[in-house]
Chains A and B, each alone.
Chain A
């Protein structure tokens, strides 16, 4: 057996740096007085730029390192950079207050957990980093300034605890079966029927993280009761981290004898898409609608995972194009429902009163449906192309089912997503709106819309060279 050398720790340098940054932020938060809080945000942002720089400069090892417990897939660094950018944007986006330091701790903690999760190959490390994300986010929901926030956080925590307990049980069962804590232990013992049970338990944690169907019940109350930034962070960062793990798992499990992983993925994805869409259709509250449609988006994200490796670029494109509209949508919804009841009627006539917001809203919600001229159109297009191609190659009926049901559900999505633009432009104004200074918000949402349109013009430019088809 080859012993790992100390030098291999260098591949985790960005994570070490991030952990140091987190500790420094905690210490500074405890020592700085209230007036100096802007310094703290500046420090955190500088540190994150340092993290991004280290990540960018990192020499990527070709194989697993540290006893095969960590490894880099082609898209790992790219996904890490994505979530790091989201965190940089989010740091200090909310007005600086007494809780700024705590919120920064939460976000940096979630980022550290996600970053480790994206690299880990060992089940124990996966569990620990998933817990780090979860614990940070429970706290993040709790810190949202909403009267219901702590209730939502408790809801989130209870579901999360159950899911992570199941995950841990799966891990220990797999350790019993294979005597190894590496992720590919599932694939190595695929013929053992007990492995399927272990894998099922293990998936509970993963499904919870990406808010897929059996563990999706927390999303609506959590999204509805957390602040806009926390909600958007929840909708993006853990999902991207979980996506990395789904890819890693699919790489090792797909086409293995004993486990029909393709079927598992198709079923999970169909459940997510159908359930999420029809639940979203029934909502009256914009945030709850976003929550359930997020479940459907998670379903679409793993839809093409059954036909890897050709569909890798499509999955990643879907993940990238999902980020700008969901961030924009959360901010837009929060902008108009911060002081008003959160239902569609609140949006009546606002598109004509604030034309710029109206146009941005149309772009964002059209993007979430996945119609041109937005980047999301290409993402959906490529995902379905790959599924169709694979169906033609293998003639597997479930792939056809996924293709048809997925396409029909895209049509369903039109009905609920376009409700908000519809209310904004075609309903009379209710004349109860409060003015609020919102230059920063508008600039931010506009930036997101520019991204959306840019990806439509040049979809492949946002993907790294290594995973282009």
Chain B
């Protein structure tokens, strides 16, 4: 008996998966039926806030993005923990003193993560260090004019 209820709980998840997939497919299918299909070059480029994209998207990332990504993941995980925390906090059978304790505990948890952010900030991990562009000291033996002639 117990097992069958457990399975039906997962059945709901399956229903959600199927439902989500169906809705997406139906929506996109309907859209492709109804919309006019007139592509041009502008429309086919990937949308980059109005800028023309340079090069392909499949290239190595700058490692500095990863530092940002790590910090982002940190705070995302924080949210992950805060949802169940909030759920337990509003649980009706909770003992009053422990509810208060948990409330404070949640803030302490956020505070600890904040300390981490402050640390990263102060240590300069969030600074986007730009490589300094130095003018090259190289002087070509070929006169400049020849280049210009060659270009034109």
Interface, chain A (partner B; CB < 8 A): 3, 5-6, 23, 26-27, 29-31
* Complex contact B119–A27 (CB within 8 A): yes
* Complex contact A3–B123 (CB within 8 A): no
Q: Which residue from A5, A23, A30 sits with its C-beta under 8 Å from B123? A: A30
CA distance A378 to B81 in the complex (A): 50
CA distance A107 to B3 in the complex (A): 47
* Complex contact A6–B119 (CB within 8 A): no
**Closest Cβ of chain B: how far from A11's Cβ, in Å?**
15
* Complex contact B95–A26 (CB within 8 A): no
Q: Is B112 among interface residues, defined by CB-CB distance under 8 A?
A: yes
* Complex contact B95–A30 (CB within 8 A): no
Chain A residues whose CB sits within 8 angstroms of the CB of B95 once the complex forms:
3
Q: Is B101 among interface residues, defined by CB-CB distance under 8 A?
A: yes
CA distance A3 to B122 in the complex (A): 43
CA distance A29 to B112 in the complex (A): 15
Chain B residues whose CB sits within 8 angstroms of the CB of A5 once the complex forms:
97
Interface, chain B (partner A; CB < 8 A): 95, 97-98, 101, 112, 115-116, 118-119, 121-123
Chain B residues whose CB sits within 8 angstroms of the CB of A30 once the complex forms:
118-119, 121-123
Chain B residues whose CB sits within 8 angstroms of the CB of A23 once the complex forms:
112, 115
Q: Which residue of the partner chain B has the closest CB to A6?
A: B97
Which 6 residue pairs across A and B have the least CB separation, nearest first? Answer: A30-B122, A30-B119, A6-B97, A26-B119, A23-B115, A26-B115
Chain B residues whose CB sits within 8 angstroms of the CB of A31 once the complex forms:
122
* Complex contact B98–A29 (CB within 8 A): no
Q: Which residue of the partner chain A has the closest CB to B97?
A: A6
Q: Which residue from A3, A6, A27 sits with its C-beta under 8 Å from B118? A: A27
Q: Tally the A-B contacts, defined by beta carbons under 8 Å.
A: 20
Q: Is the interface of B mostly helix, strand, loop or mixed?
A: helix
CA distance A3 to B118 in the complex (A): 38
CA distance A27 to B123 in the complex (A): 11
CA distance A3 to B115 in the complex (A): 33
Q: Which residue of the partner chain B has the closest CB to A105?
A: B119
CA distance A26 to B118 in the complex (A): 9
Chain A residues whose CB sits within 8 angstroms of the CB of B122 once the complex forms:
30-31
Chain B residues whose CB sits within 8 angstroms of the CB of A26 once the complex forms:
115-116, 119
Chain A residues whose CB sits within 8 angstroms of the CB of B98 once the complex forms:
6
CA distance A5 to B95 in the complex (A): 10
* Complex contact B101–A6 (CB within 8 A): yes
**Closest Cβ of chain B: how far from A135's Cβ, in Å?**
13
CA distance A384 to B29 in the complex (A): 78
Chain B residues whose CB sits within 8 angstroms of the CB of A29 once the complex forms:
119
Chain B residues whose CB sits within 8 angstroms of the CB of A3 once the complex forms:
95
Chain A residues whose CB sits within 8 angstroms of the CB of B121 once the complex forms:
30
**Closest Cβ of chain B: how far from A36's Cβ, in Å?**
14
**Closest Cβ of chain A: how far from B123's Cβ, in Å?**
6
CA distance A3 to B123 in the complex (A): 44
Give 18 pairs: A residue, B residue, CB < 8 Å, sorted on A: A3-B95, A5-B97, A6-B97, A6-B98, A6-B101, A23-B112, A23-B115, A26-B115, A26-B116, A26-B119, A27-B115, A27-B118, A29-B119, A30-B119, A30-B121, A30-B122, A30-B123, A31-B122
**Closest Cβ of chain A: how far from B94's Cβ, in Å?**
10
**Closest Cβ of chain A: how far from B112's Cβ, in Å?**
7
CA distance A360 to B119 in the complex (A): 42
CA distance A45 to B112 in the complex (A): 22
**Closest Cβ of chain B: how far from A370's Cβ, in Å?**
44
Chain A residues whose CB sits within 8 angstroms of the CB of B123 once the complex forms:
30
CA distance A3 to B97 in the complex (A): 11
Q: Give 17 new A-B contacts, CB below 8 A, not counting A26-B116, A27-B119, A31-B122.
A: A3-B95, A5-B97, A6-B97, A6-B98, A6-B101, A23-B112, A23-B115, A26-B115, A26-B119, A27-B115, A27-B118, A29-B119, A30-B118, A30-B119, A30-B121, A30-B122, A30-B123
Chain A residues whose CB sits within 8 angstroms of the CB of B116 once the complex forms:
26
CA distance A433 to B96 in the complex (A): 69
Chain A residues whose CB sits within 8 angstroms of the CB of B118 once the complex forms:
27, 30
**Closest Cβ of chain B: how far from A359's Cβ, in Å?**
45
